[in-house]
Amino acid sequence: MSVINQSAREITAKIVFYGPGLSGKTTSLRRIYETIRPTHRGEMVSLATEGDRTLFFDFLPVKVERVGNSAVRLALYTVPGQVFYNATRKLVLQGVDGVVFVADSQPAAMDSNLESFENLCDNLRDMGLAPEQMPIVFQYNKRDLPGVLPVEQLRARLNPRGLPDFETVAEKGKGVLDVLRAVTKGVIRSLKAKGVFPSATPRPAPVPSLLKREEPSLASQLEQMASSALAAPAAAPEPKAAVAPDPSLLTALVPEKWAGEASLAEAAYRTGSYKQAFTRAFNGLRALTSSMGIEGMSEVELALMAGLTGPDYSRLLRLEKQPALSREEAAFGLLMFALVGARVRS
């Protein structure tokens, strides 16, 4: 689902690269990353890989188009192609606006291409989306290999509806940008048809979308939290573990079991110990999600299940590695803890 920031006139559309294992999804994203000017893309994040294989997803943010007054950004994702990762594929597909289906052109891969495409359609239907309504572009990959199937054959089996399709050699970057352009075009057309683009008259800024489902007072509580941090002295002693939980924002939101940790995170934030505040919040978030105790699910999957988005989770992981953090970065950690806490609690 596209995310709209009305005041900044920005729309972020989610595009998922789907297809069987080893068809070239990650390679395609990597080449897009290398080809696009750094001013027009963010960093590529690959979450959980084993050798070449994607175990969770790759993510690449791209700024591509202006449509009227709006800047359109793309959030590009790949899924793991291996058959047994379907739960992960479903998670990554949540909110999808357009799909690039990366098929392997080798004859031996035909069955897995078909199986993967069926799996895509099943997963879309499970989410209440009609595959016929979804903008889909086909990428017949590995055209450099000897003995690949003729395109007509691939088209007849995989793409009888005659959706946009391209021959690519992802390894060499050949054709990948044509694919990206085509899917972007399809997505923009479909979002226009849904009336998603903001009207020319500016509307009042809405509550940030992350907070929409919480109580109305949460946004103002967060504002309050930020202003009290501004008033705080620059350096202060580390809060001691014995600090009693107080009835502040975080402690009110997270389940009682984590109120102590939440209180310490918030105390560290108020006193300007931003790295410490972030670490406490992130550790609390981890403890919370692992307490959901869904067997066989990785930490990342649990975080997504608990309501974080892929980009948010990637940002948390990046910030965790930084030796020092800004106030805004620490606040982001606290917000994510609050968000997950509130969801788990409700």
Ligand X SMILES: Nc1nc2c(ncn2[C@@H]2O[C@H](COP(=O)(O)OP(=O)(O)OP(=O)(O)O)[C@@H](O)[C@H]2O)c(=O)[nH]1
Question: Does 144 interact with ligand X (rule: CB under 6 A)?
Answer: yes
Question: Does 251 interact with Mg ion (rule: CB under 5 A)?
Answer: no
Instruction: Kindly determine how many residues on this chain lie close enough to bind ligand X according to the rule CB under 6 A.
Output: 22
DSSP state of 134: S
Question: Does 88 interact with Mg ion (rule: CB under 5 A)?
Answer: no
Q: Decide: residue 82, CB within 10 A, 0-12 exposed, 13-18 middle, 19+ buried.
A: middle
User: 98 vs 284, which CB is nearer to ligand X?
Assistant: 98
Phi-psi region of 45 (alpha: psi -120 to 50; beta: other; left: phi over 0): beta
User: 54 vs 123, which CB is nearer to Mg ion?
Assistant: 54
Question: Does 327 interact with ligand X (rule: CB under 6 A)?
Answer: no
Q: Are 273 and 238 in contact (CB under 8 A)?
A: yes
142 binds, among ligand X, Mg ion, none (CB under 5 to 8 A by kind): ligand X
320 binds, among ligand X, Mg ion, none (CB under 5 to 8 A by kind): none
Taking Cα atoms as reference points, which of 266, 296, 293 lies closest to residue 280?
A: 266
Of the candidates 81, 164, 260, 333, which one interacts with ligand X according to CB under 6 A?
81
Q: State in angstroms the smallest separation of the CB of 53 from Mg ion.
A: 6
Taking Cα atoms as reference points, which of 280, 215, 307, 294 lies closest to residue 253?
A: 215
268 binds, among Mg ion, ligand X, none (CB under 5 to 8 A by kind): none
Question: Does 116 interact with Mg ion (rule: CB under 5 A)?
Answer: no
Q: State in angstroms the smallest separation of the CB of 81 from ligand X.
A: 3
Question: Does 82 interact with ligand X (rule: CB under 6 A)?
Answer: yes
Q: Which stretch binds ligand X (CB under 6 A): 136-144, 211-219, 316-324, 325-333?
A: 136-144
Q: Are 165 and 155 in contact (CB under 8 A)?
A: yes
| CA torsion through residues 75, 45, 261, 229, sign | negative
Residues paired with residue 63 on neighbouring β-strands, in sequence order:
73
Q: Which stretch binds ligand X (CB under 6 A): 22-30, 116-124, 256-264, 334-342?
A: 22-30
Q: State in angstroms the smallest separation of the CB of 28 from ligand X.
A: 7
Question: Does 54 interact with ligand X (rule: CB under 6 A)?
Answer: yes
Residues 6+ apart with CB under 8 A from 27: 170, 171
Q: How far apart are CA 313 and CA 78, in angstroms?
A: 16
Q: Are 86 and 33 in contact (CB under 8 A)?
A: no
User: Cα 208 from chain centroid?
Assistant: 17
Q: Decide: residue 111, CB within 10 A, 0-12 exposed, 13-18 middle, 19+ buried.
A: exposed
Of the candidates 2, 12, 23, 54, which one interacts with Mg ion according to CB under 5 A?
54
Question: Does 142 interact with ligand X (rule: CB under 6 A)?
Answer: yes
Strands 70-78 and 10-18: parallel
Question: Does 53 interact with ligand X (rule: CB under 6 A)?
Answer: yes
Of the candidates 2, 112, 113, 141, which one interacts with ligand X according to CB under 6 A?
141
271 binds, among ligand X, Mg ion, none (CB under 5 to 8 A by kind): none
Q: State in angstroms the smallest separation of the CB of 179 from ligand X.
A: 12
Residues 6+ apart with CB under 8 A from 142: 23, 24, 104, 105, 106, 148, 169, 170, 171
CB-closest chain residue to ligand X? 81
Question: Does 22 interact with ligand X (rule: CB under 6 A)?
Answer: yes
Residues that bind ligand X (CB under 6 A): 19, 21-27, 52-54, 78, 80-82, 141-142, 144-145, 169-171
Residues that bind Mg ion (CB under 5 A): 25-26, 54
